[in-house]
């Protein structure tokens, strides 16, 4: 079982749609969780952290379910500029590197 699993997509949605991405992780001791965004042929950039109580940043909402080892990202009112690959990222503990999922590709269509 991979450490971080995501549906690769692609998700093709019209502008204005709401879209949700899911991610599962295998290490129950994982401490911190993030969503990164990667544009085509660019480096990944931090989109948002994911907190246990859930958190929102504008049109983006992240949720964490520790019992199910499941993370989600909801994007409301999709924009063309949201088209990118969204990476689910997990931090285990101590001096360990971040573990990246393979990403979910989103295309927002006019």
Partner 1 sequence: GAGVSQSPSNKVTEKGKDVELRCDPISGHTALYWYRQRLGQGLEFLIYFQGNSAPDKSGLPSDRFSAERTGESVSTLTIQRTQQEDSAVYLCASSRDTYGYTFGSGTRLTVV
Binding site for partner 1 (CB under 8 A): 32, 34, 42-46, 87, 91, 95-103
CB 22 within 8 A of CB 67: no
By beta-carbon proximity to partner 1, the closer residue of 29 and 110 is 29
By beta-carbon proximity to partner 1, the closer residue of 18 and 93 is 93
CB 44 within 8 A of CB 38: yes
Q: How far is the CB of 98 from partner 1 (least distance, A)?
A: 6
| Alpha-carbon dihedral sign for residues 109, 49, 21, 75 | negative
By beta-carbon proximity to partner 1, the closer residue of 45 and 66 is 45
Encoding tokens for residue 1? Answer: 């079982």
């Amino acid at each position: 079982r991979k450490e971080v699993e995501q549906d690769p997509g692609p998700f093709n949605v019209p502008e204005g749609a709401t879209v949700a991405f899911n991610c599962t992780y295998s290490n129950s001791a994982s401490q911190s969780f993030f969503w990164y965004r990667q544009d085509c042929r660019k480096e990944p950039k931090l989109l948002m952290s994911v907190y246990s109580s859930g958190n929102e940043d504008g049109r983006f909402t992240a949720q964490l379910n520790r019992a199910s080892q499941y993370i989600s990202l909801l994007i409301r009112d999709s924009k063309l500029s949201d088209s990118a690959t969204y990476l689910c990222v997990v931090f285990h503990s101590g001096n360990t590197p971040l573990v990246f999922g393979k990403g979910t590709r989103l295309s927002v269509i006019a």
